Amino acid sequence: MIRNVSRILTTTAPRTAAAFARTVPALASRTMAACPRASPARLSAVSAVSIRTLSTSTPLRGNGSVDSDLSHTLSEEIDYEAKQAAEEGEPEFIQAFTNKTGFKIKSQIGDNRVVMVKQFGSETITVSFDVSEILNVDDPIADISVYRENEEGDAVKEAERKAEDTPEDFPICFTATFAKPGAPVLHMELECEEGEIGVDHMKFLPDEESAIAGTTEKDWARRQVYCGPIYGQLSDDLKENIDEFLAERNVDTALTLFMQDFIEFKEQGEYLNWLKNFKKFIEA
């Protein structure tokens, strides 16, 4: 069922004037005697040493002393991730989902945005989401007291194992656009969590490009359009019909679960690409 989502001095006793007057000349005299003025020749020598030190302490060509070690570590990490990816291959859940729903997935390495498109009669349905949504995942291992010195080693390992085996669920903000000839485009801004879909905004745009283009200009233009009524204030019958409208077009619980799985899958590929780019930068 679609639900409405709300947008989560110490002071010291003063000296007497007489005591202060006696103290200051004595201090000033000792200070001046202890710090004689440096001769011009001495200053010149110090300056020369400083210049030579600065000119020879800066690494040439941007190569730091740890670059070689860093490159080696990156190579090992790349080899490990590449091996894992080769062994796993493309997950079966992707093919199963596309066969069942008719969605075609558009995803490129280096691009956070994922776009899925399908036809439903005369309608073109476009669903878009971002791989960075995985940042919403809470790390269960971070909640384990693994750094306590008095913690039993076996207990920590068991807690970590259970945390790793627990499937993660995280909220995802996404959009669904419905376009058909001769009609304004319905653009919905949605959020899903624990299998439920919430409606943030429902707005109508003049054309499909205005609705789905990922440019800053188009996004700004979309923000200027009336966002629709507060969803929770709609009648129950209308909300139920909208729920059925989305479900009939495969914008449902199955889609939300697929997006979570696909985000985790794509993030691994993006991480491997990030490692390769990091290595290229270090070795350049």
Q: Is residue 257 part of a domain?
A: yes
Q: Is residue 15 part of a domain?
A: no
Q: Is residue 20 part of a domain?
A: no
Q: Is residue 78 part of a domain?
A: yes
Q: Is residue 210 part of a domain?
A: yes
pLDDT digits (tens, 9 = 90+) for 193-218: 888 999 999 999 887 777 777 667 77
Q: Is the pLDDT of residue 237 over 50?
A: yes
Segments forming the whole domain that contains residue 201? 67-283
Strand order in the sheet with 3-4: 3-4, 196-205, 185-193, 172-179, 123-130, 113-120, 104-106
Q: Are strands 123-130 and 196-205 parallel, antiparallel or unpaired?
A: unpaired
Q: Where are the alpha helices (DSSP H) in 144-215?
A: 153-165, 208-212
Q: Is residue 160 part of a domain?
A: yes
Mean pLDDT of all residues in 12-27:
41
Integer Cα distance of 117 and 113 in angstroms: 13
Q: Are strands 113-120 and 104-106 parallel, antiparallel or unpaired?
A: antiparallel
Looking at the whole model, is its pTM more than 0.85? no
Q: Is residue 108 part of a domain?
A: yes
Partners of residue 201 on adjacent β-strands:
189
Residue 226 sits in a domain of what CATH number?
A: 3.10.280.10
Q: Are strands 3-4 and 104-106 parallel, antiparallel or unpaired?
A: unpaired
Question: What's the confidence (pLDDT) of residue 147?
Answer: 47
Q: Are strands 185-193 and 3-4 parallel, antiparallel or unpaired?
A: unpaired
pLDDT digits (tens, 9 = 90+) for 246-262: 999 999 999 999 999 99
Minimum mean pLDDT range among 122-131, 204-213, 228-237, 273-282: 204-213
DSSP character for 164? H
The DSSP annotation for 251-263 comes to -SHHHHHHHHHHH
Q: Is residue 122 part of a domain?
A: yes
Structural domain total, the chain: 1
